[in-house]
Amino acid sequence: MLYSCKLKGACNLPVICNKKINTAGTSNADVPLAEPGMYQLDITLRRGQSLAARDRGGTSDPYVKFKIGRKEVFRSKIIHKNLNPVWEEKACLLVDHLREPLYIKVFDYDFGLQDDFMGSAFLDLTQLELNRPTDVTLTLKDPHYPDHDLGIILLSVILTPKEGEHVTMLMRKSWKRSSKTCGRPALPVLGFCRAELQSTHYQNAQFQTQSLRLSDVHRKSHLWRGIVSITLIEGRDLKAMDSNGLSDPYVKFRLGHQKYKSKIMPKTLNPQWREQFDFHLYEERGGIIDITAWDKDAGKRDDFIGRCQIDLSALSREQTHKLELQLEEGEGHLVLLVTLTASATVSISDLSVNSLEDRKEREEILKRYPVADISQPERCGLPPGESDPSGRVDGC
């Protein structure tokens, strides 16, 4: 059954179990609460329709945030250049009361800038019928411009009460997944609650009640599906942005909400960076890495040199790929090495930068990336057994 209503004003919906489903508007704080306890909320974010265009090209790069009690509990992947995105993403949440509504906010992803707001709505959890799958249509609105048509978001939800051993089992499954698998947590949880956990310290098998800070559980279970290792080798024939006919280039990378910025190479159109860094890969199907090149200007706004992208879904795993990327909206190329590693055990405490100017560090990088283009100099335009004294890998 499909329900639809608007952000402002009361909803006029069919009655189910003598309750209406409020999907938008002000929350019903005075609605009698359901019986206290733990609930499992299964959400399927299906698609959006006729979303707002926020980019100059008349399109958007939408993603969705779900919040309960001012805490973000789930964030969808980004769908690029699409006003009718299809997500079909699932989230499973544990909530310890139904007072707080589920807020849905849609944003347009903008690389290097603040993401644009595309509308919001909310779902009143107290109005959901327990144990029954429900399709919900949410009409997106902007509180500052209530008359603007911002499209709709379609969800499927089911709310299931959980008690005692069921809660324990769900949490144990969540922790087990966090230690053995990678990816988004299967059971992110919200706020505080009390769960009945069986204590191994008592032979009489009594249950010990422990107060759990569930935000910590959520953080520990948020593992990644793999690592994207990138080596920024060099730039070639970049656009001159300064009056001296040169530039002071640097490069920005962004994968989802992870960012990296290279060092600045002064006065050159053919910079040699030799920088290596890693991104967490949360999505099985990869993602899009946005890359922009800039010219550093002291005391002024930096000049835009060009942009390009890497579609990780097109790259095979456990293999290093040498990429020569043409800069769009500008001139020149960027040369990169990209490796996708399907591992959740590699810890990335920081985005390390390894200079290849040091011979030992350079050898370590070459061991990590056994690519023919680098490990065999004759394929890079150098005679066998010889290398450029500057450390430059010619032709790579």
Greater pLDDT, 83 or 2: 83
Q: Of 136-150, 231-245, 338-352, where does mean pLDDT reach its minimum?
A: 338-352
Greater pLDDT, 148 or 367: 148
Instruction: Answer yes or no: same fold for 2-27+35-162 and 226-380.
Output: yes
- How large is the average pLDDT for residues 350-378? 44
Distance CA 110, CA 29 (A): 35
Give the start-to-end residue ranges of the domains of the chain.
Answer: 2-27+35-162, 165-217, 226-380
Q: What angle do CA 268, 272, 274 make, to 5 degrees?
A: 155
**CATH superfamily ID and name for 226-380:** C2 domain (2.60.40.150)
What are the pLDDT digits (tens) for 55-71?
888 899 999 999 888 78
- How large is the average pLDDT for residues 92-106? 87
The pLDDT score that the predictor gives to residue 372 is 37
- Would the pLDDT of 191 be above 60? no
What are the pLDDT digits (tens) for 313-344?
888 877 889 999 999 988 999 999 998 876 43
Give 159's pLDDT tier (boundaries 50, 70, 90): very high
- How large is the average pLDDT for residues 124-152? 91
Greater pLDDT, 234 or 171: 234
- How large is the average pLDDT for residues 130-150? 91
**Neighbouring residues of 317: CB distance < 8 A, sequence distance ≥ 6:** 226, 340, 341, 342
2-27+35-162 carries CATH number 2.60.40.150: yes
Tokens of 260: 């990296």
What does 238-252 look like in DSSP terms, one character per residue? PPP-STTS---EEEE
The pLDDT score that the predictor gives to residue 198 is 34
In a 3-state reduction of DSSP, which class is residue 24? coil
Tokens of 316: 């095979």
- Would the pLDDT of 203 be above 70? no
The pLDDT score that the predictor gives to residue 99 is 83
The pLDDT score that the predictor gives to residue 342 is 64
Do residues 122 and 23 lie in contact, with contact meaning Cβ atoms separated by under 8 Å?
A: yes
Angle, helices 214-221/165-180, rounded to nearest 10 degrees: 30
- Would the pLDDT of 345 be above 60? no
Tokens of 142: 């902007």
- Would the pLDDT of 190 be above 60? no
Q: Of 49-53, 167-171, 298-302, 324-328, where does mean pLDDT reach its minimum?
A: 167-171
The pLDDT score that the predictor gives to residue 209 is 32
pTM for this model (two decimals): 0.42
Do residues 185 and 174 lie in contact, with contact meaning Cβ atoms separated by under 8 Å?
A: yes
- How large is the average pLDDT for residues 10-28? 36
Q: Where are the beta strands (DSSP E) in the chain?
A: 2-5, 38-49, 62-68, 71-75, 86-95, 102-108, 116-123, 134-139, 152-162, 192-198, 207-213, 226-236, 249-255, 258-261, 272-281, 288-295, 303-311, 320-326, 333-341
Query: What does DSSP assign to residue 2?
Result: E
In a 3-state reduction of DSSP, which class is residue 306? strand
Q: Which of 173-177, 272-276, 372-376, 381-385 has the highest mean pLDDT?
A: 272-276
Give percent above pLDDT 70 in the chain: 59
